[in-house]
Amino acid sequence: MAEVKCIAPMRIGDTDIEYAQGMRAGSWLFFTGHMAIDFEHGLAAQVIGKPGQPLGSPPRYRREGDFIIERLAKLTAAEGSDLRHIVRVDQYYPNAQVVNAYQRARKAALKDFVPPSTSVLMEELSVVGANMEVSMIAVLPGGGREPRPAQPEGVPVPKHSGFIASLVCGDYVFVAGQMPNNDDMTGIAKPAYRPPNAVWNGTDIRLQTEFLITSRLKPALEAGGSSLENAIKAQCYLTNINDLPEFLDVWNSHFGEHPCALTVVATKGLALLESILEINIFGVREGAKTTKQIVDHKPSQHMRLGPAAVRAGDLLCLSALYAADSDGAMPQARSTAGLKYFGSPTHHEMQAILTAADDICRTAGTSLSNLLRVNHFLSDLNLVPCALRSWQEKLAGAPIPFGAVRTPAPMPVPGCNIVADMWVYHP
């Protein structure tokens, strides 16, 4: 196995949890779950500001955004790359008021080259007082990997954000989080809109999903030389998780014969009030040396919504996993629910998820020890320490490249409290 390098590991407080600020593997740089913290006490002092001057300048949220962007810039530079080689960013916020300040901080650093971005609201972040959690993927310069915009027609970009809707990097095409909005971001596009008085003229989730796939994701991928058939991994955020069955029905009508790894979780809100879903996606270019390979793994079929994993070159993308079987949440987790404050159901959920993930990786020809990123979507952030101890055991004490946010209730499967979304290096 080629070496996967941990970048700038940090021990969190006086605990035994060691956080990997980044991971380097091949030409990839992954930075996951970053917040404006000092790793010893919580929020960094310069972000908190002076208690006696709560209205001091620059604004509180701008300080937080600047801190995160500056840290990511330093980490990237230390590996021989820079912010011009970012290919994707993901952001989670607990409230909408902070988004504009973060985007101003991002714009100040990235100028006119803001890579494909996804921003959604979550109930809570894993550090008290934190308002932004940011994850980023970048590449090393050279080797034909210079990121460039694909500029798809008919895929609008919000002016205040200014991200690149579709970006080409070598054999890969990255597409920003898309909603079924109209061109000027004032509402839902007409083909996806159901008038309030149209009682049974389609359903919002079906109309919006169909439009988003055919009129946003498809042209954005094709502009970069990819296609729906060559999609590798998608993340979908639903404002109402009860829309999941209808969403999957439409999704599988397009991806059933050529599935991509899929993660679906609930979000507290999106940039447009009328939008009830947002999806980001990435794929490989038609005719490229890098090809798409679907990984089958029957034992985990009830633990996921997409294929076990999809490989594209040296990246292995798993569909998000939760601890379920054909009857719902796994019996071990259900039977120990009364012992949740001792961590028993969390232990059983994580053991099931990690066992399945490890087996999927081995089936694909790699190892879970080559983990590049894991995002945890949780019903309760009190589960984080127990979940991370399971990772410590699985990774033999190696630092963990993780993020953790609390999603709105309910979870996709009642009794399951963890959804784990993973990227793994496949040398």
Residue 358: closest CA among 343, 345, 374: 374
Cα(386)–Cα(220) distance, integer angstroms: 40
Ordered by where they begin, the domains of the chain are 22-328 (3.30.1330.40), 329-427 (3.30.1330.40)
Element containing residue 202 per DSSP (H, E): none
Asked whether the beta carbons of 326 and 412 are under 8 A apart, the reply is no
Asked if the bond preceding 149 is cis, omega within 30° of 0, the reply is no
Asked whether the beta carbons of 163 and 114 are under 8 A apart, the reply is yes
Cα(292)–Cα(338) distance, integer angstroms: 44
With 0.85 as the threshold, say if the pTM is over it: yes
pLDDT tens per residue, the chain (427 residues)?
458 999 999 999 999 999 999 999 999 999 999 999 999 999 999 999 988 887 888 899 999 999 999 999 999 999 999 999 999 999 999 999 999 999 999 999 999 899 999 999 999 999 999 999 999 999 999 999 999 999 888 888 877 778 999 999 999 999 999 999 998 888 999 999 998 888 888 899 999 999 999 999 999 999 999 999 999 999 999 999 999 999 999 999 999 999 999 999 999 999 999 999 999 999 999 999 999 999 999 999 999 999 999 999 999 999 999 999 999 999 999 999 999 999 999 999 999 999 999 999 999 999 999 999 999 999 999 999 999 999 999 999 999 999 999 999 999 999 999 999 999 999 9
Residue 94: closest CA among 61, 125, 68: 125
Q: What would the two tokens of residue 74 be?
A: 């330093």
